[in-house]
Structure 1
Amino acid sequence: MTAVKQRLGPLFELAYAGLMTNVLLTLACAPLVALLMTTDPARSWPLLAALTPLAGPALCGAFAVLAKHADGTPVRTFGRVWRASARRAVPLVAVAATTVVVLAVDLRYAWGRQVGALVIPMLVVAMILVSATTLLALVVLAERPAVRLRDACRVSLYLAVRHWYLTLFSLAVLGLLEALLSTRPAIALGLAAAPLLYVVWAGSRFSLNAAMPPASAASEGAA
């Protein structure tokens, strides 16, 4: 019986961390969630873009909870990382969201025009790089909230390009979550958010290993 409890214990801890991640994300992004559930995203996208920065510290907190799910303190971990990262995560996501919106407007203008064949691929690549850099920088802030934002973005951009296959996979998973949020927000926040974000965090964290080894590896190296 003891052996069974020892085997099932980590599973229950992971399930509890996932459930609390979904709840805490919903609470931290309440205005954004309410807008998604009560309006058509295709029409309310300007307001959605304005509220998107709320997701910055919330994602940092979620990544921290998923990274330390064995601690059994998701609420405390989420709150601590949210507070510590908010001053950097909010402007980071705000700048990224504004940049992506501007690039998307330019892309729509170029679509169907003669200049589009040259401009559209560059705009798409720029949007991917901005999104990937922001994602990796949020993972950095989740673990080291006091890091300089410029340093986090510079390292994130380099490693996002270096590990482009992981970057594209993480963005695809994040895109799936965004699609679920737009069409089925209750399912996305009730069930899908935590496992999908765990996949995104794991791939992003692996990409960052070269520049930012995990705390356990760093302590072993110091010893």
Structure 2
Amino acid sequence: MRIKHETLGTVFDLVYVGLMTNLLLVVSCLPLVAGLVATDPARSWPLLAMVAPLCAPGVCATFAVLCAFSGTGNNAVARTFVAAWRASLRRATALGALATAALVVLGVDARAAWGHPVGAAAIPVLVTAMVLITATTLLALVVIAERPAVRLRDALRACLYLSLRRWYLTAFSLAVLALLEALVASRPAIAFGLAAAPLLYVVWANSRFTLREALGPIPG
């Protein structure tokens, strides 16, 4: 059997886009990656929380690369990534800072309530709020990747509504994101070297389907 040149080209493009996107994502998240590798996250989490918002533009840029490749087959990864990173820098970083601060506050409150009578009522509420913040932030990063000029307030309002309306899609995206986080914690080399782009593609595609009413069809 002969393999068509188009098929080989598609396979090479997929491999190149995946590996190059992983590399650029690591570079854009270098402070967080270095902290995860060089320190004990259980003890250094305040420092990691401070640098975590810097990863938001890199995640937006990753989503932009995946969108461009899925829509038009554009494999100019570096150019697309850098352009999207610059375009989303201010809004994505602000969103990442807001989400991180809220999650830290809620997480500390949940830890303080653990083992106390008030925890039976407070912890489920706090955990639900943390899940909603994570889901809304994830969808908002997808919006910012395609609409860098969007007002953050408008994006958050629409994403909160759609994350609740299509809760089953939200649950799937969060499960994939949790898998990526588990890989980062246990096998960072595999996570950042191989798994990040494929798993983020699943998250992006699922989130893009959730947002189709707001963003319309994929360009191209």
Instruction: Specify the TM-score bucket, using the shorter chain as the normaliser.
Output: over 0.9
Counterparts of 1:206-221 in structure 2, within 5 Å, are: 206-216=209-219
Deviations 1:59-78 (A, max 9, x none): 00001111222211000000
CA positional deviation for 1:109: 1.1
Find out whether 1:114 has 2:117 as its counterpart: yes
Partner of 2:4: 4
CA distance, structure 1, for counterparts of residue 92 and residue 217 of structure 2:
21
Q: Which runs of 4+ in 1 moved over 4 A?
A: none
- Structure 1 distance, partners of 2:182, 2:39, is 15
- Looking at structure 2, the residues matched to 146 and 133 of structure 1 have their Cα atoms a distance apart, in angstroms, of 18
Structure 1: tracts of 5 or more residues without a match? 218-223
Aligned residues: 217
CA drift of 1:7 comes to 2.1
Which of 101, 105, 110 is the aligned partner of 2:108?
Answer: 105
Identity, % of aligned pairs? 62
Query: What's the C-alpha RMSD, in Å, of the aligned pairs?
Result: 1.5
Q: Partner residue of 1:62?
A: 62
Structure 2 unaligned regions, length at least 5: none
SS in 2 for 1:68: helix
TM-score (norm 1): 0.93
Aligned equivalent of 1:158, options 161, 178, 187 = 161
Q: What TM-score, normalized to structure 2? A: 0.95
1:193 matched residue in structure 2: 196
1:60–1:85 contact (8 Å) kept in structure 2: yes
Q: Paired residue for 1:131?
A: 134
> Which digits, 9 at most, give the CA deviation of each residue in 1:169-208, with x for residues without a partner?
1111111111211222111100110111001001100000
Q: Secondary structure at the match of 1:114?
A: coil
CA distance in 2, matches of 1:62, 1:112: 40
Partner of 2:22: 22
CA contact (8 A) 1:18 1:66 kept: no
Matched, 1:48 2:29: no
CA distance in 2, matches of 1:42, 1:216: 42
8 Å CA contact 2:67, 2:218 repeated in 1: no
